[in-house]
Structure 1
Amino acid sequence: MNQADARELMRSVLRPIAPEADIDTVGAHETLQEALDLDSIDFLEFVTGLAAATGREIPESDYAQLSTVEGCVGYLTSP
């Protein structure tokens, strides 16, 4: 998966959770929860959605890596 695909996947997973969310307005190091006003349940749904969409198991220890756009893109594009 390349960076553009990762961003599009993030958009598609976020759409049902936060329809008004626009990841393009979020700074690379800004947390998704703060920038998009996601609560902890929303963030868990986001992570679960990413796992389902990619077929990857995402351990709880990796959740912090998914807290920013840059971290999420890096995580999704890693082998």
Structure 2
Amino acid sequence: MDNREVKDLILEELGNIAPEIEPSEVPDNEDLREALELDSMDFLNLVIAVSKRTHVAIPEADYTKVLTLNDMTRYVLKLLV
């Protein structure tokens, strides 16, 4: 997977969790919880869904490393290699 594929996968899972969010409106470098008004359960569901789809474990201790779209993309890509 490359950067674009991982980002698209994250956006797809985000759309499954919060269908009212337009993928084009998701900021790259803002905290997804604040920018999109995701509650803690929505964010947790996003992390779990991305983990399942990519087979990359994201432990709770690393949640602060995946708060933005770009951060999550980089995190997953780093562990896919």
Q: Considering the TM-score relative to the shorter chain, is it more than 0.5?
A: yes
Q: Which blocks of at least 5 consecutive residues in structure 2 are unaligned? A: none
Percent identity among equivalent residues? Answer: 35
Q: Which residue of 1 aligns with 2:12?
A: 12
* Per-residue deviation, residues 8-35 of structure 1 (Å, max 9, x unmatched): 1111111121112234333332100111
Runs of 4+ in 1 over 3 A off after TM superposition: none
Number of aligned residue pairs: give it: 79
Q: Which residue of 1 aligns with 2:60?
A: 60
CA RMSD between the two structures: 1.4
Q: How high is the TM-score relative to the length of structure 2?
A: 0.85
1:7 to partner: Cα distance? 1.1
8 Å contact 1:51–1:58 — kept in the other structure? Answer: yes
Q: Which blocks of at least 5 consecutive residues in structure 1 are unaligned? A: none
Q: Which residue of 2 aligns with 1:34?
A: 34
